[in-house]
Amino acid sequence: MTFSLTHTDTQSGARAGALHTAHGSIQTPIFMPVGTAGSVKAVHQRELEHDINAEIILGNTYHLYLRPGIELLEKAGGLHQFIGWKRPILTDSGGYQVYSLGDNRKITEEGVVFKSHIDGSSHTFTPENVMDIQRSIGADIIMAFDECTPYPCEYAYAKESMAMTHRWLTRCIHRIDTTPPKYGYEQTLFPIVQGSVYRDLREQSAEFIASQQQDGNAIGGLSVGEPHEMMYDMTSLVCGILPKDKPRYLMGVGTPENILECIALGIDMFDCVMPTRNARNGMLFTSEGIINIRNEKWKNDLSPIDPALGGYVSATYSRAYLRHLVISKEILGAQIASIHNLTFYLWLVREARTRIIDGTFSTWKNQMVKKVTQRL
Amino acid sequence: MTFSLTHTDTQSGARAGALHTAHGSIQTPIFMPVGTAGSVKAVHQRELEHDINAEIILGNTYHLYLRPGIELLEKAGGLHQFIGWKRPILTDSGGYQVYSLGDNRKITEEGVVFKSHIDGSSHTFTPENVMDIQRSIGADIIMAFDECTPYPCEYAYAKESMAMTHRWLTRCIHRIDTTPPKYGYEQTLFPIVQGSVYRDLREQSAEFIASQQQDGNAIGGLSVGEPHEMMYDMTSLVCGILPKDKPRYLMGVGTPENILECIALGIDMFDCVMPTRNARNGMLFTSEGIINIRNEKWKNDLSPIDPALGGYVSATYSRAYLRHLVISKEILGAQIASIHNLTFYLWLVREARTRIIDGTFSTWKNQMVKKVTQRL
Query: What is the pLDDT averaged over residues A176-204?
Result: 98
Query: What is the pLDDT averaged over residues A296-301?
Result: 98
Contact B330 A39 (CB under 8 A): yes
| Neighbouring residues of A53: CB distance < 8 A, sequence distance ≥ 6 | A346
Helix ranges (H only) for A281-360 are 312-316, 319-327, 331-358
- Quick one: closest CA in A to B69, which residue? A324
Minimal CA separation from A340 to chain B, in Å: 13
Q: How far apart are alpha carbons A212 and A242 in whole angstroms?
A: 11
| Neighbouring residues of B33: CB distance < 8 A, sequence distance ≥ 6 | B40, B43, B48, B52, B54, B57, B58, B271, B275, B276, B342, B345
- Residues from chain B that touch A72, judged by Cβ atoms under 8 A, are 299-300, 320, 324
- Per DSSP, what are the bridge partners of residue A57? A89
Among A9, A51, A92, A306, the active-site one is A92
Query: What is the pLDDT averaged over residues A9-32?
Result: 98
Minimal CA separation from B187 to chain A, in Å: 23
Minimal CA separation from A143 to chain B, in Å: 24
In this prediction, residue A69 has a pLDDT band, given cuts at 50, 70 and 90, of very high
A193 by Cβ neighbours in 10 Å (0-12 / 13-18 / 19+) ranks as buried
pLDDT tens, chain B, 376 aa long? 999 999 999 999 999 999 999 999 999 999 999 999 999 999 999 999 999 999 999 999 999 999 999 999 999 999 999 999 999 999 999 988 888 886 788 999 999 999 999 999 999 999 999 999 999 999 999 999 999 999 999 999 999 999 999 999 999 999 999 999 999 999 999 999 999 999 999 999 999 999 999 999 999 999 999 999 999 999 999 999 999 999 999 999 999 999 999 999 999 999 999 999 999 999 999 999 999 999 999 999 999 999 999 889 999 999 999 999 999 999 999 999 999 999 999 999 999 999 999 999 999 999 999 999 999 9
Does any CB of chain A come closer than 8 Å to the CB of residue B75? yes
Reply yes or no on whether the pLDDT at A103 is more than 80.
Answer: no
- Quick one: closest CA in B to A69, which residue? B324
Each residue of B296-316: pLDDT tens digit? 999 999 999 999 998 899 999
Does any CB of chain B come closer than 8 Å to the CB of residue A300? yes
Query: What is the pLDDT averaged over residues A302-311?
Result: 95
pLDDT of residue A287: 97
Query: What is the pLDDT averaged over residues A314-325?
Result: 96
Q: What sign does the CA torsion over A93, A94, A98, A99 have? A: positive
Does any CB of chain A come closer than 8 Å to the CB of residue B101? no
Residue B100 or A300, more confident = A300
Reply yes or no on whether the pLDDT at A199 is more than 80.
Answer: yes
Q: How far apart are alpha carbons B144 and B176 in whole angstroms?
A: 10
Q: Sheet containing A2-8: which strands, arranged edge to edge? A: A2-8, A15-21, A24-28
Query: What is the pLDDT averaged over residues A155-176?
Result: 98
Minimal CA separation from B146 to chain A, in Å: 26
Q: Which residues of A292-318 are buried (b: 16+ CB within 10 A; e: fewer)?
A: bbeeeebbbbeebbbeebebbbbebbb
Q: Calculate helix-pair angle for B331-358, B256-264, nearest 10 degrees.
A: 20
Q: Sheet containing B217-219: which strands, arranged edge to edge? A: B30-32, B269-271, B248-250, B217-219, B192-193
Does any CB of chain A come closer than 8 Å to the CB of residue B62? no
Whether the CB-CB separation of B5 and B35 falls below 8 Å is answered with: no
- Residues from chain B that touch A116, judged by Cβ atoms under 8 A, are none
Residues of B forming the active site: 92, 271
Q: How far apart are alpha carbons A348 and A369 in whole angstroms?
A: 11
Query: What is the pLDDT averaged over residues A327-335?
Result: 98
Each residue of B28-49: pLDDT tens digit? 999 999 999 999 999 999 999 9
In this prediction, residue A121 has a pLDDT band, given cuts at 50, 70 and 90, of very high
Q: Sheet containing B57-59: which strands, arranged edge to edge? A: B57-59, B89-91, B141-143, B188-190
Whether the CB-CB separation of B12 and B349 falls below 8 Å is answered with: no
- Residues from chain A that touch B42, judged by Cβ atoms under 8 A, are 331-332, 335
DSSP string, B98-136: HHHT-EEEEE-SS-EEEE-TTT--EEEE-HHHHHHHHHH
Contact A324 B37 (CB under 8 A): yes
- Per DSSP, what are the bridge partners of residue B58? B34, B90
Contact B82 A331 (CB under 8 A): no
Does any CB of chain B come closer than 8 Å to the CB of residue A35? no
Q: How far apart are alpha carbons B95 and B130 in whole angstroms?
A: 9
| Neighbouring residues of B363: CB distance < 8 A, sequence distance ≥ 6 | none
Q: How far apart are alpha carbons A73 and A64 in whole angstroms?
A: 9
pLDDT of residue A98: 87
Whether the CB-CB separation of A246 and A215 falls below 8 Å is answered with: yes
Query: A355: number of CA atoms within 13 Å, CB side?
Result: 22
Q: How far apart are alpha carbons B134 and B58 in whole angstroms?
A: 12
User: CA dist B29 to B26, B37, B54, B251, B269, Å?
Assistant: 9, 25, 12, 13, 6
Reply yes or no on whether the pLDDT at A106 is more than 80.
Answer: yes
- Residues from chain B that touch A324, judged by Cβ atoms under 8 A, are 37-38, 67-68, 72
**Structural element, H or E, at residue A118:** none
Written as one letter, the residue type at B298 is: W
**Residue from A199, A193, A203, A105 nearest A155 by CA:** A199
Q: How many CB pairs under 8 A join A and B?
A: 110
Reply yes or no on whether the pLDDT at A95 is more than 90.
Answer: no
Q: How far apart are alpha carbons B349 and B347 in whole angstroms?
A: 6
At A93, is the secondary structure helix, strand, or coil?
coil
Does any CB of chain A come closer than 8 Å to the CB of residue B18? no
Cis check for the bond before A68: say yes or no (omega within 30 of 0): yes
In chain A, the largest separation of any two C-alpha atoms, in whole Å, equals 61
Does residue B334 come out as left (phi exceeding 0), alpha (psi in the -120 to 50 range) or beta?
Answer: alpha
- Please report, rounded to a whole number, the percentage of residues in chain A having pLDDT higher than 70: 100
Does any CB of chain B come closer than 8 Å to the CB of residue A317? yes
B374 by Cβ neighbours in 10 Å (0-12 / 13-18 / 19+) ranks as exposed
Mean pLDDT computed over every residue of chain A: 97
Does any CB of chain A come closer than 8 Å to the CB of residue B84? yes
What 8-state DSSP symbol labels residue B52? I
